[in-house]
Structure 1
């Protein structure tokens, strides 16, 4: 089974768990709507790639960790699109979930996905209880406060914003979770993997700022110009387009250099390079 098929299978299994019993039909449908099709599945791909590089001796635990991380990410997108935040009309080329199912079900869908993520990890404890507990703790820390994605959303309500802290929590947190959870699932210490996740997260946030500034909504599959419209801090606002491209290039180079020594180091570096090429917006590649 290839990597993407493995992750999709883990996600399908997790969503089916959330739809078990006799659930409200529209809420059960909304879980599918929020998670499929799944886009690039970048975070679980990084997590699984790190686990593979570290030996992947508990593949069922790796799969549970990958699904849990992606469930939290999908939940964050559902909540980000709500009228109280971005008020986005589209996501991944289709109506945002609150447009398709209404705001109450959108809130409940996001909440359900978050809770489901931790249920998936709890059920995987039979594989290795200590590792599962570490996975739960890491995902909780990178999802909430003080430095998780909830903090990232919170920074947007502050009168003065620390751009580095904002980027690290809003986008970087789940990439740090990806590298650290991949290591944990394979029985390795998470701390050496912080820098790689942090740098990948910064790169993706800068790339997202660039896409918001230079791409059109049809190509991106969601509204553009949101940073300027909402007065949000961004790398483009701080550095300009050329400066943001230079920041992105340097950050990606630093990410590859920060990969800890592990059996699959060369293959992991190849994966990071491949993702680097994918995230650079085509409209600014000539500046890189």
Structure 2
């Protein structure tokens, strides 16, 4: 099965748990709206790539992990767009959930996706109890406090922000979850995979900072200039455009070098290179000065 099809099938199977029966129709519709169609699905792609490099001996575990991770990511986007945070009108080129369905339903949509993510992982205990428990723990640690995406959002309310801790929590945490979950699903120790996830996440954040500063809303599919508008710490403000591009290249090189020794190491390195090209902001070289 092609990777894209595998990702979408896994997500659709997870979403089916929230449909049917006596489910409130508008909330059910909002949950689908928040997840379908998706974005680049880069996190589940990384997860599957790591699982494959480690043998992927129980693919149903990797399928559930990939779906849970993407549901958690979508939940974070729904909450990020709320008026109390970014107050964003669009996401992925369409109205944000709170604009399309109302603020109360957006809150419930994000909450429901979080719960659905953990339910999806919990059901894998029927396949392998030990791996299921380790996957749940990994996703919990990368979404809550003190180092998960909740902490990342919390840093924005602090009077003084630790930029490294902010980026590790806000963006890198779910990429770390991707590499850890991929390894765990295939029966491998997740610890050696931390650096790869953290570096990919840091690269993604720097690339996002560059896109926010250099591209417009019509291209991004979400509001541009948000870092400047909200006074957030970011790589462009700290390093300048040229410095941010240089930093991005250095991080991506480090990510490839960090891949642990495994049967699929060479294939995984090529996938990381391709993903690196896909996240590189598409702006003219003259604008990088």
Normalising by the smaller structure, the TM-score range is: over 0.9
Aligned 1:128-207 pairs, distance under 5 A: 128-207=128-207
Structure 1 residue 127, shift from structure 2 partner: 1.1
Unaligned runs of 5+ in 1: none
- TM-fit CA distance, 1:39: 1.0
Separation in 2, partners of 1:92, 1:208 = 14
Gaps (5+ residues) in structure 2?
none
1:21 maps to what in 2?
Answer: 21
The secondary structure found in structure 1 opposite 2:23 is coil
The 1:123–1:285 alpha-carbon spacing in structure 2 relative to 1, beyond 3 Å, is: farther
User: Which residue is 2:112 aligned to?
Assistant: 112
Aligned mates of 1:13, 1:19 — CA distance in 2: 10
Structure 2 Cα separation of the partners of residues 61 and 157 of structure 1 = 37
- SS of equivalent to 1:243: helix
Native 8 Å contact 1:51 1:186 kept in 2: yes
- Corresponding residue of 1:273: 273
C-alpha distance after superposition, 1:99-134 (max 9, x if no partner): 000000000000000000000011111111000000
* Aligned-partner SS, 1:283: coil
Taking the aligned partners of 1:127 and 1:244, their CA distance within structure 2 comes to 44
Distance in 1, matches of 2:22 and 2:283, equals 48
Q: Deviations over 1:245-283 (max 9, x none)?
A: 011000000000000001111110011000000111111
Provide runs of 4+ in structure 1 moved above 2 Å: 284-288
Return closer, same or farther for 1:39/1:285 CA change in 2, 3 Å cut-off. farther
How far apart are residue 232 of structure 1 and its match?
0.5
Report deviation, 1:22.
Answer: 1.4
Using the TM superposition, give the Cα deviation of residue 284 of structure 1 relative to its aligned residue in structure 2, in angstroms. Answer: 5.2
Residue matched to 2:41 = 41
Per the normalisation by structure 2, the TM-score is 0.98
Residue in 1 that maps onto 2:9: 9
Between stretches 17-26 and 194-203, larger displacement belongs to: 17-26
Rounded to whole Å, the distance in 2 between the matches of 1:25 and 1:138 is 32
Root-mean-square deviation (Å)? 1.0
Match of residue 249 from structure 1: 249
Alpha-carbon distance in structure 2 between the residues aligned to 1:285 and 1:109: 41
Q: Give me the TM-score of the superposition, normalised by structure 1.
A: 0.99
User: How many Å apart are 1:21 and its aligned residue?
Assistant: 2.1
Aligned pair count reads 288
CA distance in 2, matches of 1:32, 1:284: 36
